Amino acid sequence: MIIDLPSTTTSHVNAKLVELRERGGAVALGRVLTLVIAADDDDKLEEAIEAANEASREHPSRVIVVAKGSKTAAPRIDGQIRVGGDAGASEVIVLRLYGPLANQGQSAVVPLLLPDAPIVTWWPGEGPKAPADDPLGQLAQRRITDSAAEKNPVKALTTRAKSYVEGDTDLAWTRLTNWRAQLVSALDLPPYEKVVGATVTGEADSPSTELLAGWLAEYLNAPVKRVKSSSAQGIISVTLDRESGPVELHRPDGRVGTLTQPGQPTRRISLARRNNQDCLIEELRRLDPDEVYEASLHGLGKIGGPVAKPAKAAPKKKAAAK
């Protein structure tokens, strides 16, 4: 059910929510958090609401969408409430702010927050350079951006690395979960050797590729080379050099990866690119700071330079004839 409330106020929206609750159309009980979505583009807005609706089946929440209308229009708020089949396991409140109110998203959101529930703010499109300093970001314990949605993804990621505050995260990082899991699992198999260098290949403007290289540079304590390619989208391959031979995870088509390493059979692994819905569900599972993400941002500064080649064992000397 979708209820439009043109030229409304937050008090009127709240009153309508109470009315719907009393009629049994929506309940606030069991909501585990408030998800605030800041989206200006209409296409991004609907995609974000759909992703939030699916995520709410695992994380029942109140979703508040803040969209900026024309700043030259007369000041007004156009509201919309979505419940039931149009809101998954949540209740969705859409606020379009016009005129001088366009920059007053925080003031419009505060009266609609659930009491004693944690707050997560998500920018599905272009986000602020410093999420923690943004008015909507100041409300939240967790702040989710998406560098891949920016005009210059890698530059946006680098900028946010400089302004990082505990609670910040990025969907470009969440898209790496399966890659990191496969690489860690591969290193858990014999031979148990130190990685002396790594090469990460991916699309030139892929922030996920940058973060994967940063993660390896931070935790392997070895040279990591970032190779840019235009042959495929996102991450293409990772090579970890060891004395006995390289561990290679190659995904040329964006769907299936091939893992090869010495002494082990070649394996085909599902490595399909993750959508926003899956990434959002994963991010909403935790409200504490992501220390590994923070370390990977720090590792961005360690990327580059030649990769050390594995040292070859010296040939054994033949015993002298007696």
CATH number at residue 204: 3.30.360.10
Q: For residues 51 and 171, what is the distance between their CA atoms, to the nearest angstrom?
A: 13
Indicate whether 151 and 180 sit together in one domain.
Answer: no
Task: State residue 18's pLDDT score.
Answer: 87
**208 lies in a domain?**
yes
Indicate whether 158 and 292 sit together in one domain.
Answer: no
Tell me which of 170, 201, 236 is where a domain ends. 170
Average pLDDT, integer, range 102-127? 94
Average pLDDT, integer, range 258-283? 95
**308 lies in a domain?**
no
Tell me which of 170, 203, 236 is where a domain ends. 170
Indicate whether 186 and 38 sit together in one domain.
Answer: no
Indicate whether 92 and 121 sit together in one domain.
Answer: yes
Share of the chain above pLDDT 70, in %: 92
Average pLDDT, integer, range 11-19? 92
Q: Which position has the higher pLDDT, 87 or 79?
A: 79
pTM for this one? 0.90
- Least confidently predicted of 43-52, 211-220, 230-239, 311-320: 311-320
Residue 172 C-alpha from the chain's centroid: 5
AA identity, residue 57: R
Task: State residue 178's pLDDT score.
Answer: 97
Indicate whether 18 and 110 sit together in one domain.
Answer: yes
**315 lies in a domain?**
no
Q: Are 129 and 163 in contact (CB under 8 A)?
A: yes
Q: How many domains does the chain have?
A: 2
Q: For residues 146 and 169, what is the distance between their CA atoms, to the nearest angstrom?
A: 9
Q: Give the pLDDT band (50/70/90) at residue 9.
A: very high
Indicate whether 262 and 274 sit together in one domain.
Answer: yes
Q: Give the pLDDT band (50/70/90) at residue 24.
A: low
Indicate whether 21 and 69 sit together in one domain.
Answer: yes
Indicate whether 183 and 134 sit together in one domain.
Answer: no
Task: State residue 1's pLDDT score.
Answer: 86
Q: 51 CB contacts (<8 Å, ≥6 apart)?
A: 124, 275, 276, 277, 280
AA identity, residue 184: V
Share of the chain above pLDDT 90, in %: 77
Q: How many CA atoms lie within 13 A of 18 on its CB side?
A: 7
Q: 308 CB contacts (<8 Å, ≥6 apart)?
A: 196, 197, 222, 223, 241
Indicate whether 249 and 184 sit together in one domain.
Answer: yes
Indicate whether 223 and 151 sit together in one domain.
Answer: no
**313 lies in a domain?**
no
Tell me which of 170, 188, 211 is where a domain ends. 170
Bridge partners (DSSP) of residue 5 are: 79
Cβ atoms within 10 Å of 250's Cβ, excluding its own: 15
Indicate whether 156 and 266 sit together in one domain.
Answer: no
Indicate whether 30 and 159 sit together in one domain.
Answer: yes
**319 lies in a domain?**
no
**321 lies in a domain?**
no
**320 lies in a domain?**
no
Q: For residues 129 and 227, what is the distance between their CA atoms, to the nearest angstrom?
A: 26
Task: State the chain's mean pLDDT as an integer.
Answer: 90
Q: How many CA atoms lie within 13 A of 248 on its CB side?
A: 13
Average pLDDT, integer, range 49-75? 92
Q: Is the pLDDT of residue 20 over 70?
A: yes
Q: For residues 170 and 144, what is the distance between their CA atoms, to the nearest angstrom?
A: 5
CATH number at residue 119: 3.40.50
Q: Which position has the higher pLDDT, 52 or 310?
A: 52
Average pLDDT, integer, range 176-189? 95
First to last CA, the chain: 95
Average pLDDT, integer, range 244-248? 96
Locate all alpha helices (DSSP H) within 234-288, ordered by sequence. 276-283
**40 lies in a domain?**
yes
Task: State residue 309's pLDDT score.
Answer: 45
* Parent domain of 6: 2-170
Task: State residue 311's pLDDT score.
Answer: 42
Q: Are 68 and 78 in contact (CB under 8 A)?
A: no
Q: Give the pLDDT band (50/70/90) at residue 127.
A: very high
Q: For residues 274 and 172, what is the distance between their CA atoms, to the nearest angstrom?
A: 10
Task: State residue 29's pLDDT score.
Answer: 52
What is the residue whose two structure tokens read 């702010």? Answer: 97
Task: State residue 31's pLDDT score.
Answer: 80
